[in-house]
Amino acid sequence: MTTPDERRVVVPPRVSIPIGPQHPALKEPGMFRLTVEGERIVDAEVNIGYNHRGIEKLAESKTHLQNLYLMERICGICSATHNGNYAQAVEFAAEVEIPERAKFIRTLTWELERIHSHILWLGVAFHEVGFDTAFMYSWRDREVVMDMLEDLSGNRVNYGMNTIGGVRRDVSDELRLRLLKGLDKLEERMEYYRDVAIYEKTFWDRVAGVGLLETGVAKRTGAVGPTARGSNVPVDVRFNDPTQAYAHIRDSGEFEMVLSDRCDVAGRSIVRVTETIESVRMCRWLLNNMPDGPIRERVRPRIQPNEVLARYEAPRGECIHYLVTNGTQSPERIKIRAPTHANWVSMAHCLRGGYIADAPIVLAAIDPCFSCTDRVVIVDADEHTLELVPLDVLRVRANRWYKENNRSSD
C-alpha cells in the first residue's frame, strides 16, 4: 500500500483552463477544471457545489403543502417536475388515488414543460457552438409553449399546478382549443428543427462524433434521460415505470421511446428534438382523451408514517424523490436525486480527449442543472474517498486554507 504522496504522478506543464464558476457557457455556477495540451483536453475535473441551498433540510420544517412550492423552486426549468413529483410522493405516502382528470392535467403540464425544456436546451446548444440565428429562432418558438403554460397555470416559470390530491386548475374548453392551436404551431416548428436546422453543416460538424459516450460506458456510469437514450440505452421512466397518465399513454400504443445509436452529442440532439415532437403529440393525445370529472381529492394534512420513492422522467432524465413521512404535516426526510447528478460521471468521460472548443457543447449536452444537484459532498477521486462535510468543519478548513495561502500579498 502506497501513501498518496508516493503515488503522485509528475505531469509536464500543462495549461489548466477553468470553465466556471462564472462563465458565459454556463447558466449556473459550476466549475470544470480542464487540463489542456494545446487544444486537446487531457483531463477534466468536475467541481460542483456552488449552489447549495439546503432545500432538503428546509423542507423538514415545512408542511407538505408548503413544500410543494419550495420544491418547485429547486429549479426554474423543471419546476413542474419537482412540484409534481413531490405531490406524487406525498400521495403515494398517503395512499390516495387521485382523480383521472387530475392525472391527465398533471401529465399535460409535465409534457408541456418537457417541450419548453427541450427547446431551451436546443437554443443553448445552438448558442454554445455560436449558431446564434438558430438560437434566436428556437427561443422565439419557445415563447409559444411558455405562453401556453402561462395560459394553463397562470405563471410562466413556477406553474404551481399540482396540489396534494390533484391539480389546482382545470382545463376549460376554450383553453383546450387554444392549446391545440399552439401545439400545431410547435409541431411545425420542431419538424423544421429536426429536418433542417440541426443538419446545417457548420452545426453538424460541431456535434457529430463529439463527446462520445459508448453504450457500455453510459450503462456503467448510470447515465439517465436523453444522455442515455442518445447512447442507445433504453431508460425512460415514462415507459419503464409509468405513473399518472403515462400508463394510458403507453397503453395507447401510439408512442415510442426515442432512441439514437449515435452515442455523440448529435445523437443527444436528435433524441431531444424528436422527443419534443413526441411530447407535442402526447399533449394532443392527452387533451383529446381527457376524461371528465373532478380535478382534486381532499387529502388530510397529516400523512401516516410511510416511506416511498417517487420516480418521474424529468426532461433531463429520471428524477427521484425519496420521502419518509412520520404522521405529522411535515416530512421526516426528503431526499432528491436530480437527473443531472446521475449524469456527472458520464460527462467527465465525454470531456476527456476532446477539444476545448467542444467543452461547452459537451457540458451543455447533458443539459446540466446545478441547482438541482448541488450537495455538500466532497468526492476525492484520487483517494476514492467520499466524505460528507458539515458546515462548521468546512468553515474551519476554509479559515486554515486562507491562513496558509495568504491572498492579501498580491
Partner 1 sequence: MVRLGKMEGELIRSISKRPATVIYPFTKDGLNIPPGLRARWSYANPDMCTGCKICERVCPSGAIEMVECGPDDVRTKTGFRPICHFDRCILCGQCVESCPRDVLRLTDSFEMAFLSREDMVLR
Partner 2 sequence: MQAVGVLDLAVQALWVLVFPGVFFITTLALLWEWLDRKFYARLQNRVGPLHTGWHGILQPLMDFLKLLGKEDLTPAKADRRSFAAVPVVMLVISLTMCMFLPVVDMDPNTPGIQGILSFEGDLVLVLFLSTLMAIAIVLAGHFSSNPFGETGAARTGMLLISFEIPLILSVLTPALLAHSLRISTITESLKQLQPAYAWLMVLPFVVYVIALQAELERIPFDVSHAETEIVHGWQVEYSGKKLAIIHLAEDIMLVFGAGMVTTLFLGGPYLLEYIPLDVFSAQFATFMATSWVGTVYYTLVFVLKSALVVLLLSNMRTLFARWRIDQIVHAGWKVMVPIALFNLILVHVALTYIFPVLGVL
Residues 164-223 that bind partner 1 (CB under 8 A): 168-169, 192, 196-197, 199-202, 204
Identify which of residues 90 and 365 has a Cβ nearer to partner 2 in the complex.
365
Q: Which of 50, 69, 239, 255 binds partner 1 (CB under 8 A)?
A: 69
Q: How far is residue 392's CA from residue 389's CA, in Å, rounded to a whole number?
A: 8
Query: Do 297 and 289 form a contact (C-beta atoms < 8 A)?
Result: no
**What's the DSSP call for residue 405?**
S
Nearest to 180 by CA among 88, 285, 80, 272: 285
Q: Using the rule CB under 8 A, is 40 a contact of partner 1?
A: no
- What is the torsion angle, in degrees rounded to the nearest 10, for the CA atoms of residue 110, residue 114, residue 115 and residue 117? 130
- Give the Cβ contact number of residue 32 at 10 Å: 26
Question: Could you say which of 58, 301, 309, 355 contacts partner 2 (CB under 8 A)?
Answer: 355
Please identify, among the stretches 187-195, 309-317, 333-341, 357-365, the one whose residues bind partner 2 according to the rule CB under 8 A: 357-365
User: Does 43 engage in binding with partner 1 (CB under 8 A)?
Assistant: no
Asked whether position 66 contacts partner 1 by CB under 8 A, the answer is yes
Closest contact distance (angstroms) between CB of 154 and partner 1 is: 4
Q: Minimum distance from CB of 11 to partner 2 (Å)?
A: 16
- Residue among 65, 247, 324, 379 that touches partner 1 (CB under 8 A): 65
Regarding 302 and contact with partner 1 (CB under 8 A), the answer is: no
CB of 106 to partner 1, least distance (A): 16
Least distance CB 87 / partner 1 (angstroms): 13
Evaluate whether 45 touches 342 at the Cβ level (below 8 Å).
no
Q: Which window, 22-30, 162-170, 330-338, 361-369, contacts partner 1 (CB under 8 A)?
A: 162-170
Piece of 19-27, 227-235, 242-250, 260-268 that binds partner 2 (CB under 8 A) = 19-27
| 196 contact choice in partner 2, partner 1, none (CB below 5 to 8 Å, kind-dependent) | partner 1
Per rule CB under 8 A, is residue 151 in the interface with partner 1?
A: yes
Does 60 participate in binding partner 1 (rule CB under 8 A)? no
Cell reading at 53: 441551498
168 binds, among partner 2, partner 1, none (CB under 5 to 8 A by kind): partner 1
Q: Write the DSSP assignment of 127-148 as a string of letters.
A: HHTT-HHHHHHHHHHHHHHHHH
> Which of helix, strand or coil describes residue 13?
coil
The burial class, CB within 10 Å (0-12 / 13-18 / 19+), for 116 is buried
Q: Compare residues 23 and 250 and give the one whose CB is closer to partner 2.
A: 23
CB within 8 Å of 170: residues ≥ 6 apart: 101, 105, 295
* Alpha-carbon 247 to chain mean position: 22
Report in angstroms the alpha-carbon separations of 235 from 31, 90, 339, 350. Answer: 28, 25, 12, 19
Footprint of partner 1 on residues 306-335 (CB under 8 A)? none
Contact 355, 39 (CB under 8 A): yes
Q: Which does 357 bind (CB under 5 to 8 A by kind): partner 2, partner 1, none?
A: partner 2
- Interaction of residue 24 with partner 2, rule CB under 8 A: yes
**Closest to 262 in 3D by CA, of 310, 197, 214, 317:** 214
Residue 271 CB: number of other CB atoms within 10 A? Answer: 25
Q: How far is the CB of 314 from partner 1 (least distance, A)?
A: 21
246 contributes a contact to partner 2 by CB under 8 A: no
Is the Cβ–Cβ distance between 220 and 228 less than 8 Å?
Answer: no
Please count the CA atoms within 13 angstroms of the CA of 261 that sit on its side-chain side. Answer: 0
The DSSP-derived string for 22-80 is: S-TT-SS--EEEEEEETTEEEEEEEE--TT---HHHHHTTS-HHHHHHHHHTT-STTHH
- Residue 196 binding partner 2, by CB under 8 A: no
Q: Does 200 bind partner 2 (CB under 8 A)?
A: yes
Segment 111-150, which members bind partner 1 (CB under 8 A)?
A: 133-134, 137, 140, 143, 147, 150
Cβ atoms of residues 186 and 144 within 8 Å = yes
Per rule CB under 8 A, count of chain residues that contact partner 2: 33
Binding positions for partner 1, rule: CB under 8 A: 62-63, 65-70, 73, 133-134, 137, 140, 143, 147, 150-151, 153-155, 158, 160, 163, 168-169, 192, 196-197, 199-202, 204
Residues that bind partner 2 (CB under 8 A): 15-18, 23-25, 38-39, 126-134, 136-137, 140, 200, 202-203, 205-206, 355-360, 410
